[in-house]
Amino acid sequence: MKIDVTRFHKVYFEESFEGLESMEAGLLVLAKGASGDPETINTIFRAAHSIKGGAGSFGFGDVMEFTHLLETLLDQMRAGTRAASREITTSLLDAVDVLREMLEAKRDAQPVASERIAAAAQVLQKILDLPCSPAPAATTLDAVDQSIWRIDFRPHPHLLKTGNEPIRMFRELASLGQLRVAANMSGVRRLGEIDPEECRLSWNLTLVGMIEERQIREVFDWVEGDCDLDIVKVASVEQMTPTATEPGSPNAPIHPVQSEALTVGKATNIGDGGSIRVSTEKVDAIINLVGELVITQSMLSQFGEQFDVSMIEKLRDGLGLLARNTRELQETVLKIRMLPISFCFNRFPRLVHDLSAKLGKKIQLKVGGEQTELDKTVLEKINEPLLHLIRNSLDHGIESPEARLLAGKPEVGTVQLQASHRGGNVVVEISDDGAGLNLAKILAKAKERGLVGPNENPSKEKIEELIFAPGFSTAAQLSDVSGRGVGMDIVKRNIKELGGNIEIENRPGLGTKFTIKLPLTLAILDGQIVKVGDQAFVVPLVSIVESVQVRRGQTSLISGQEELYRLRDKYIPVLRLYEIFNIPPSVTQLEQGLLMVIEDNGQQAGVFVDDLLAQQQVVIKSMESNFQKVEGISGATILGDGTVSMILDIPGILNLSRQRKVAA
């Protein structure tokens, strides 16, 4: 019976991509001159070895062959016979990129770029063909010499169900030296009792060669915890050669491992199931809370059997306990989706390393708050905005080494990436010590493009906001790094879609800081419930500036149609929700209701509502999954009384209002 190993592919790919990130981080450390750090090289080697071992287990021969080249070079560096030069480190970083592309192609069942793989393999092979310096004298107990090892490998019965096959591990051992294998069949059941998915065999292995014990143990890394393993170094091969008697006995004849490859079915496209790893502590917390809910439910169920007025106080206590347990369960379940922002930050050191070399600049990246947690969905969507901001800091912010020295700065520029929790938000700061924003240049470019009138003199804040205008760029020439003006507007739009906002702190000549504020999760939002006619709507609190009581004489009409309200020293448009959504109104006079001032993308408006009801956290339910997208509505929620309330999409409301004006 053939075991379908494709169900284990997803775990392999997840662990492999994590291994690639570990390799990349280690190689970036080596690129800074830490070539003598054996632990860094060992970390890189172990990651490569695990990827290679898994590739062999799943029949990804091309991945295994390519990783073998990479692993061989790393092994020479680990042994001290080849120095980790800048050229070698750069080649290894390129090889990591190629290996990532190969794994992505395998995961998605797509063809691999064979020419790119061949070119990268050729570079690695050329390095390996160069002469090595003499290996240092071994000082450890298991020093490299012509060793004889006895290995007792006793798999647990469930081993085959994990997708591991012993023969693949034996083949890996055979690549280290001369291997002989003896099967112990004493645990095999009778024919009628055999379960083809259980492993009842064990093996006695003999391995001879210039091998260290750690090399043997690394082969069995993938089955740690799924077997019993004894590795003993012996004096001579005769001490452990079993005496053959009859087939199937513990001392059955030993046979060399054959070199033919096992065939494994082609991996199918398993797609991205959106899985995340969850610590056992979080799972245990949920289990405990579910137990508390069961106890509370049992207590409340007694009131249905026998209830009188004297039990009202106990019922009230029970309902309070239920509310507390439910709230704790909700918070704990949400924590399952929370991941450290390091998953996003980890890719930027490589970006800074590559782009600084390409731009001819010296730049260091400092990262802080990597363990700050936020929702997985937010984490995935914030990556693109951060990428644009860091690229702009590298290209436009940080000056060339010569310019920095002339300005009295150190020639090495600094880009800082910092994350932290503030209140109910995650705050991400991207700052640099570069030249800052040239406000005069930005204003001149804006006037040239007609974004600002020729005689206008906007404030410093308004000029800074111009960099988020679509297509805006002050770059003198286009490049593949930046300058096309298609980045900063995307940054602001994506952050707004996440329910966050972005602020700029500019210090001409000293640098720029971008501060992004994001909600912890997109599943729940803090909202203000408002009443319009007989309908209740939820307005995200993040969009509300203030609420005001309208007084006579503070409103006016333009062209007899657009209604404006004077808010201190400026006028803002008035939006009547009952008109936008065609709801029968209860109140039409502004003085009889409230004007809720909202803001989006620097634009303010006053939303006319009958009354404000309450502020509360609401669980967002998607409209598109069951109905269709409705302009001005971002989702729906169920209120405490069981009624359904629509959640307003503030950018959509403003857009609807503009459309009505154009139509009028």
**Distance between CA 27 and CA 88 in Å, rounded?**
10
- Position 432 scores a pLDDT of 92
**Distance between CA 489 and CA 298 in Å, rounded?**
55
Neighbours of 207 (CB within 10 A): 23
In a domain, 360, yes or no: yes
Q: Are residues 643 and 549 in the same domain?
A: yes
Answer for the pair 537, 527: CB distance below 8 angstroms, yes or no: no
Answer for the pair 606, 574: CB distance below 8 angstroms, yes or no: yes
Mean pLDDT of 395-412: 90
How far apart, in Å, are the Cα atoms of 612 and each of 68, 193, 380, 479, 536? 66, 72, 35, 51, 10
Q: Are residues 346 and 469 in the same domain?
A: yes
Q: Are residues 475 and 356 in the same domain?
A: yes
The two tokens of residue 260 are 């033919």
Locate all alpha helices (DSSP H) within 220-374, ordered by sequence: 280-305, 312-336, 342-345, 348-359
Neighbours of 554 (CB within 10 A): 15
Considering all CA atoms of the chain, what is the largest pairwise distance in Å, rounded to the nearest integer?
109
**Distance between CA 84 and CA 31 in Å, rounded?**
8
In a domain, 267, yes or no: no
Locate all alpha helices (DSSP H) within 233-275, ordered by sequence: none
Name the residue with tokens 């092994």: 75
Q: Which residue has the higher pLDDT, 74 or 264?
A: 74
Q: Are residues 344 and 332 in the same domain?
A: no
| Helices and strands of the chain, counted as H and E runs | 18, 23
Q: Are residues 252 and 373 in the same domain?
A: no
- Position 255 scores a pLDDT of 38
Q: Are residues 321 and 363 in the same domain?
A: no
Confidence tier at 416 by pLDDT (50, 70, 90): very high
- Position 636 scores a pLDDT of 85
DSSP 8-state secondary structure symbol assigned to residue 107? H
Answer for the pair 365, 350: CB distance below 8 angstroms, yes or no: no
In a domain, 137, yes or no: no
Is the sign of the CA dihedral 459, 460, 461, 465 positive or negative? positive
pLDDT value at 265 more than 70: no
Domain end, chosen from 496, 519, 542, is at 519
In 3D space, the residue among 524, 163, 37 whose CA is nearest the CA of residue 327 turns out to be 524
Percentage of residues in the chain having pLDDT higher than 70: 83
28: CB partners within 8 A, 6+ apart = 93, 349, 350, 353
Q: Are residues 308 and 430 in the same domain?
A: no
In a domain, 264, yes or no: no
3-state secondary structure of 532: strand
pLDDT value at 496 more than 70: yes
In a domain, 246, yes or no: yes
In a domain, 291, yes or no: yes
Element (H, E) at 570: strand 570-576
| Backbone φ and ψ of 323, nearest 5° | -65, -40
Judged on CB neighbours under 10 Å (0-12, 13-18, 19+), 63 is buried
Domain that holds residue 622: 524-663
How far apart, in Å, are the Cα atoms of 53 and each of 61, 169, 413? 11, 8, 41
Question: What is the average pLDDT score of the chain?
Answer: 79
Q: Are residues 27 and 119 in the same domain?
A: yes
DSSP 8-state secondary structure symbol assigned to residue 591? G
Answer for the pair 432, 416: CB distance below 8 angstroms, yes or no: yes
Q: Are residues 370 and 506 in the same domain?
A: yes
Domain end, chosen from 492, 519, 546, is at 519
pLDDT value at 249 more than 50: no
- Position 248 scores a pLDDT of 37
**Distance between CA 142 and CA 39 in Å, rounded?**
18
Q: Are residues 509 and 531 in the same domain?
A: no
280-305 vs 312-336: helix crossing angle, rounded to 10: 160
- Position 410 scores a pLDDT of 92
In 3D space, the residue among 307, 372, 378, 306 whose CA is nearest the CA of residue 340 turns out to be 372
**Distance between CA 564 and CA 597 in Å, rounded?**
12
In a domain, 70, yes or no: yes
- Position 602 scores a pLDDT of 67
pLDDT value at 236 more than 50: no
In 3D space, the residue among 95, 116, 86, 100 whose CA is nearest the CA of residue 357 turns out to be 86
pLDDT value at 84 more than 90: no
3-state SS, 390-420, equals: HHHHHHHHCCCHHHHHHCCCCCEEEEEEEEE
- Position 428 scores a pLDDT of 92
Domain end, chosen from 473, 498, 519, is at 519
pLDDT value at 641 more than 70: yes
Name the residue with tokens 């490049």: 479
- Position 412 scores a pLDDT of 92
Domain total for the chain?
Answer: 5
Answer for the pair 257, 175: CB distance below 8 angstroms, yes or no: no
Answer for the pair 135, 79: CB distance below 8 angstroms, yes or no: yes
pLDDT single digits (tens) 141-171: 334 456 888 899 999 888 887 777 788 888 8
Neighbours of 561 (CB within 10 A): 9
CATH number at residue 444: 3.30.565.10
Name the residue with tokens 């932290």: 420
pLDDT single digits (tens) 454-482: 887 888 888 888 888 776 666 555 455 55
**Distance between CA 158 and CA 166 in Å, rounded?**
12
Query: Across the strands, what pairs with 559?
Result: none
Q: Are residues 539 and 574 in the same domain?
A: yes
Locate all alpha helices (DSSP H) within 80-147, ordered by sequence: 86-107, 114-129
Q: Are residues 178 and 319 in the same domain?
A: no
Answer for the pair 581, 504: CB distance below 8 angstroms, yes or no: no
Q: Please spell the DSSP secondary structure of 606-641, one letter per residue.
A: EEEESEEEEEEEEE-B-STTTS---TTEEEEEE-TT
Confidence tier at 566 by pLDDT (50, 70, 90): confident
85: CB partners within 8 A, 6+ apart = 35
Judged on CB neighbours under 10 Å (0-12, 13-18, 19+), 100 is middle
Judged on CB neighbours under 10 Å (0-12, 13-18, 19+), 243 is exposed
pLDDT single digits (tens) 325-370: 887 887 777 777 788 888 888 888 888 888 888 889 999 999 998 8
Answer for the pair 519, 599: CB distance below 8 angstroms, yes or no: no
| Distance separating the N- and C-terminal Cα atoms of the chain | 73
How far apart, in Å, are the Cα atoms of 511 and each of 354, 386, 393, 504, 508? 22, 17, 9, 11, 6
CATH number at residue 183: 3.30.70
Single-letter residue type at 311? M
